[in-house]
Amino acid sequence: MIRARVIGTGHYLPERVLTNFDLEKMMDTSDEWIRQRTGIEQRHVAAPDQATSDLAVLAAQRALKDAGLAPFDIDLIICCTTTPDHLFPATACLIQHRIEARNAAAFDLNAACSGFVYGLATATAFIESGRFRRVLLIGAEVATNRLNWKNRDTAVLFGDGAGAVVLQGEEGERGVLSTYLAADGADAHLLMLPAGGSRIVPTKENIGTEVHDFQMRGQELFKRAVLAFGSAIQKALEQNGISASDVDLFIPHQANVRIIQAAADRAGLSGDKVFLNLDKVGNTTAASIPIALDQALQAGRVVPGKLILLAAFGAGLTWGSAVIRW
């Protein structure tokens, strides 16, 4: 059977770092509150002239180099993002041109914080069907320039960054073993950016009003997130006929350390099997898992043969999981 195997990874984080202490000077918050309630200590912030594709290109080039492939080897580029450069064309097309991946089809995928898991499922399906052999899958976000820096409810949570993986179709036991995706649009209102699309177009009257801000019902989302992570992990274990003790490393979407710990505890995943990086990067939405995966590889925590579990939850609502035999 043809499996989708990750043959290269890369990530890029913008140079500028904004600490919780910096935020204390900008709004009514404290390092103590942010660390205790979220686990975040700092986040990276894109430069004013850096858009999502700029971060994505750097991550993609690193992943291609790691894979030992040239850009023209890539058949498909999927860019998972909620903060595309433009409403259209797709950011994936801009990346395709910048890295000169002339043979690649390209499209964006928006499943918010679950974007990378949705993208992985999509890429895997294309590869397993034989339609494409090599897919460049990117999660990239520049969220900080959409934040209202007076709104402490959301401004303290998000950071910018990009992560990329190159997947290749190969015979064998290594690669993506399973994916699981779910959604519940009934609770779309719990996390959204209302304006900018066709429902609320930007007008002189609404610019500067709350319809252009991230709107989030944090507590309700928190509860949904713990349940969704729990079900996504359970499905992943069932799909593979394994138990939590078989998992070598759990790389979750990094939204809140309390959500991750609650989900891991409920699933019976011990703390030493959970990879965390949100203290240094915050919530980077669709970029969070590929950044964490690349850092986990660099830290020597992902090595051939290991069983890696990914799980994510985000706006939509969307959630899902994947199991990879590295």
Residues that bind ligand UT7 in the complex, under the rule CB under 6 A: 29, 33-34, 37-38, 113, 152-153, 156, 191, 218-219, 221-222, 225, 255-256, 259, 283, 313-314
* Nearest in space to 142 (alpha carbons), one of 49, 226, 69: 49
Which of 19/129 has CB closer to ligand UT7? Answer: 19
Distance CA 320, CA 229 (A): 8
Distance CA 161, CA 150 (A): 22
Would you name the residues annotated as active-site residues?
A: 113, 253, 283
Considering the complex, what minimum distance in angstroms separates the CB of residue 210 from ligand UT7? 16
Which secondary-structure segment (H or E) carries 32? helix 31-38
* Nearest in space to 181 (alpha carbons), one of 103, 235, 112: 235
Give the number of other Cβ atoms within 10 Å of residue 130's Cβ.
Answer: 9
Give every CB contact of residue 190 below 8 A, 6+ residues apart in sequence.
216, 217, 220, 221, 224, 315, 317
Pull the structure tokens for residue 243.
């138990």
Contact 44, 95 (CB under 8 A): no
Which of 17/192 has CB closer to ligand UT7? Answer: 192
Distance CA 252, CA 18 (A): 23
Which of 18/94 has CB closer to ligand UT7? Answer: 18
Considering the complex, what minimum distance in angstroms separates the CB of residue 93 from ligand UT7? 26
* Nearest in space to 102 (alpha carbons), one of 110, 93, 111: 93
Considering the complex, what minimum distance in angstroms separates the CB of residue 43 from ligand UT7? 13
Which of 58/255 has CB closer to ligand UT7? Answer: 255
Considering the complex, what minimum distance in angstroms separates the CB of residue 217 from ligand UT7? 8
Find tokens 């993002």 and name the residue: 81
Which of 71/314 has CB closer to ligand UT7? Answer: 314
Closest-approach residue to ligand UT7 (CB): 218
Considering the complex, what minimum distance in angstroms separates the CB of residue 281 from ligand UT7? 13
